[in-house]
Amino acid sequence: MNKGKWIKTLTIILTFIFLYAPIIVLVIYSFNKSKMNVIFTGFTFDWYKTLFHNTDLLEAFGNTLIIAGVSTVVSTVIGTISALGLYKYNFPMKKLINGLIYIPIVIPEIVLGISLLSVYTIANLKLGMPSLIISHIAFSIPFVITSVRSTLNLLPKEYEEAAYDLGASRFDVFTKVTLPLIMPGVISGATLALTLSMDDVVISYFTAGPGSNTLPLQIYSIIKTGITPDVNALSTLMLLATVIILTTSALYQSRKIARRGY
């Protein structure tokens, strides 16, 4: 290897050290006997046991799963429909709508958070799970729309025409041709919506009410008051889940590509 190549490899390694250092630290300390995260005094699973008795944390996690689940499904359905609608049809106000859907993507989350909070207040909507779910749907839809639209833009219209030409009904064209072909965009949009929802602090901070804690909010308050190692355990489990999901989806993808050639 020449000098230039070495420098490049080193650059890549250093970037990855920066990206992974805080995570690896948390994983290691989740097995540390000492409660202080400094010296490794011995291996233990105790923090995992503590975690499963931490009802506040578990309840917050449950809420997060519900919110993320519901908002992902709803925003994926609405987002996919909307992407198709904006792609295919002309209607009054289309230009305005096309501009509006980018707003949640570009403006600071905090602005979306306070504006939703303000509207819930005039609408007399009590803050809690419903307001959280609506908020998460609101900021996820644009990401699904752009994701689906990018696949749609690459899709030749001849597929649908061929299906019509061969006698398919509109419903069949949609379910048997259009939907399967835009599926990659739908799935990546849904993944994005799920990730954003699971991770959201800012918007949830404004739109959660008393008694509707999410996992990020719970972690936020724990971090502010003083951390306990069971949070390390939780992060390790979440990392594990992320890695498992990513690996299976990558394996599934490569199998599919091997099978179908695309």
Partner 1 sequence: MNKRFNIEKYLFTVPVVIYSLLLILLPLLYVLLISFFKSDSYGGMIYTFTLSNYMEIFNITYIRIFLKSIGIALITTAICLCIAYPFAISLMSKKETTRNLLIKLVMVPFLMNSLIRTYGWIVLLRKNGIINSALVGTGIISSPLSLMYNNIGIIIGMVYTLLPFMILPVYSAVSKVDPNLIEASYDLGASKTKTFTKIYLPLTISGAFNGSLMVFIPAIGYFFITDILGGGKIMIIGNLIKNQFLTARNWPFGAAISIFLILMTLILVSIYKKLGGKMDDLGGM
Partner 2 sequence: MDNVIVRLENITKKFDDKTIIKNITLDIYEGEFITFLGPSGCGKTTLLRIISGLEEATEGKVFIEGEDVTNEIPAKRKVNTIFQNFALFPHMTVWDNINFGLKMNKVPEDEAEKRIKRAIKLVQLDGFENRYPAQLSGGQQQRVAIARGIVMNHKVLLLDESLCSLDLKLKREMQGELKKLQKKLGITFIYVTHDQDEALTMSDRIVIINKGNIEQLDTPKEIYSKPNTAFAADFIGESNIIKTEITHIKDDVAYVKLTDDIELAVPNNDYKKGKVTLIVRPENFNPHKNPVQESFAGVVKNYMYDGAIVKLEVEVGDRIIKVHQYDSDIFEEGSTVYIDIDKNKVIIIGDKNE
Residue that has been written with the tokens 């096309």 in this structure: 98
**258 is a site residue for partner 1 (CB under 8 A):** no
CB 129 within 8 A of CB 67: yes
- Residues 2-61 touching partner 2, rule: CB under 8 A, are none
127 binds, among partner 2, partner 1, none (CB under 5 to 8 A by kind): none
161's contact among partner 1, partner 2, none, with CB below 5 to 8 A by partner kind, is partner 2
d(CA 85, CA 82) in angstroms, rounded, equals 5
Helices (H), 89-178: 94-100, 103-106, 109-122, 129-153, 158-165, 170-172
Choose which of 16, 102, 164, 252 interacts with partner 2 (CB under 8 A). 164
> By CB under 8 A, is residue 97 in contact with partner 1?
yes
> What is the distance between the alpha carbons of residues 2 and 63, in angstroms, rounded to a whole number?
53
Cross-strand bridge partners of residue 43: 32
* Span interacting with partner 2, options 18-26, 124-132, 165-173, 211-219, rule CB under 8 A: 165-173
CB 135 within 8 A of CB 110: no
Report the C-alpha gap between 196 and 190 in whole angstroms: 10
Token pair listed for 180: 């399967």
Q: Say whether residue 262 binds partner 2 (CB under 8 A).
A: yes
**Is residue 15 a contact point for partner 1 (CB under 8 A)?**
yes
162 binds partner 1 (CB under 8 A): no
CB of 73 within 8 A of CB of 183? no
Which one of partner 2, partner 1, none is in contact with 231 (Cβ closer than 5 to 8 A by kind)? Answer: partner 1
Q: Report the partner that residue 179 touches, choosing among partner 1, partner 2, none (CB closer than 5 to 8 A by kind).
A: none
Give 130: exposed, middle or buried? Use CB within 10 Å, 0-12, 13-18, 19+: middle
In the list partner 2, partner 1, none, the entry touching 45 (Cβ below 5 to 8 angstroms by class) is: none
Using CB under 8 A as the binding rule, whether residue 146 contacts partner 1 is answered as: yes
| Residues whose CB is less than 8 angstroms from the CB of residue 226 and which lie 6 or more positions away in sequence, other chains included | none
Which of the ranges 46-54, 110-118, 124-132, 175-183 carries the binding residues for partner 1, by CB under 8 A? 110-118
Give the binding range for partner 2 (CB under 8 A) out of 62-70, 86-94, 177-185, 219-227. Answer: 177-185
Using the rule CB under 8 A, is 158 a contact of partner 2? yes
Binding partner of residue 219 among partner 2, partner 1, none, CB under 5 to 8 Å per kind?
partner 1
For the beta carbon of residue 119, count every other beta carbon within 10 angstroms. Answer: 14
Q: Minimal distance in Å, beta carbon 163 to partner 2?
A: 7
Rounded Cα distance between 234 and 123, Å, is 37
Q: Which residues bind partner 2 (CB under 8 A)?
A: 156, 158-159, 161-169, 172, 176-177, 180-181, 259-262
